[in-house]
Amino acid sequence: MLLTAARIAELLAIGATPDAEDPLVITPQLCRLDRSGASVDFRLGSWFMNLRQSRMTHLDIAKKTEKPAQLTKTNFVPFGKYYVLHPGDFVLGVTLEWLRLPSMMGAYVIGRSSWGRRGLIIATATGVHPGFVGTLTLELSNVGEIPVKIYPGMSICQLFLHTVERGKNETFDDSRFVGFRKPVLGEIERDDVADKLARIKKEKEP
């Protein structure tokens, strides 16, 4: 069930008490919750990560040999300064807010339409799993025709929160979420089906 802004505000207030168990926490909580809506705004953080174009001929998504540190370059932009996203540019950003989701709550990150209409795409409906902790990595790209300046601290996206239904004897392990304050490239999971299909194709080749 999608949570209203008023309900999110209630849960955040409960989460702020020190003894709350499995709380919803957004830190720092700088955006006002629009009481008539059903989302919470998030702001842009200071860390950015882009791909080292000058070092790569291409990305081979199927191969797991790639090392994020070799592929990417990290930038820090303090408050008061900006990052220019040129037309066609793609950069990973991060939310200023650190999110902690309870085990019974999931979320979706949605870009702001006012930005999208100006060519700045924030994320492609990124799903956030229950129990997540950390800042959210954003995929920022400028599909417009003029450069866009983005500033750490500006409101950049919105989060829609919903409750999660769990099976009767289902247990929940949130230990895989070791939060990050910087954007994360993430690893591409091994895809056995794709591997097998690729092998068959190879065997059939003359």
Partner 1 sequence: MSNDPGESTAESAPFSATLLPYARSRLDAFLAEIRRLKQSEFPYDDSEAALDAVAVYFESFLASLELLSKSTDAALIQNQCSLSLRALQAHLPILGLILRSTNVRNSFEVVAPLKRLAEEVLGSTTGPTVPVKLVLSSEWDYFPFTYKGVPALPEYVMIGLPASESPNPLLVPLAGHELGHAFWTRDLDLAKQLKSRAKTHVMKIISDRWEEFVRISPSGKVNEKGEALDDAVLMAVWQPALEWAAHQCEELFCDFLGLRLFGGSFYWSMIYLLSPGFRSRNLGYPDIRGRAEHLTQCGRVFGVAAPDRYAEYFEPEEEAQLAEADRFRLSVADEARRQMVPHLIALVAEKFASKSTEAECDRIRRCFDRRVPSTGVASIVDIVNAGWRAFHDPNLWPKMPAPKDRHRLLSELVLKSFEVYEIEQILSTP
> What is the set of active-site residues?
139
Residue among 129 and 181 whose Cβ is closer to partner 1? 181
How many of the other CB atoms lie within 10 Å of CB of 160? 18
Q: How far is the CB of 197 from partner 1 (least distance, A)?
A: 34
d(CA 165, CA 136): 23
Q: How far is the CB of 105 from partner 1 (least distance, A)?
A: 15
Q: How far is the CB of 31 from partner 1 (least distance, A)?
A: 13
Residue among 30 and 62 whose Cβ is closer to partner 1? 30
Which neighbouring-strand residues pair with 98?
Answer: 27
Residue among 111 and 135 whose Cβ is closer to partner 1? 135
d(CA 48, CA 56): 19
Binding site for partner 1 (CB under 8 A): 18, 23, 25, 27-30, 46, 74-79, 96, 98, 100, 133-135, 173-175, 177-181
Q: Which helix (H) or strand (E) covers residue 164, if one does?
A: none
Q: How far is the CB of 175 from partner 1 (least distance, A)?
A: 4
Residue among 98 and 160 whose Cβ is closer to partner 1? 98
Sheet holding 133-134, edge to edge: 25-27, 98-100, 133-134
Q: Which helix (H) or strand (E) covers residue 149, if one does?
A: strand 148-150
Residue with tokens 């309900």: 7
Residue among 151 and 177 whose Cβ is closer to partner 1? 177
Structure tokens at 95: 């939310």
Q: How far is the CB of 28 from partner 1 (least distance, A)?
A: 5
d(CA 138, CA 45): 10
Classify residue 200 as exposed, middle or buried by CB count within 10 Å of its CB (0-12, 13-18, 19+).
exposed
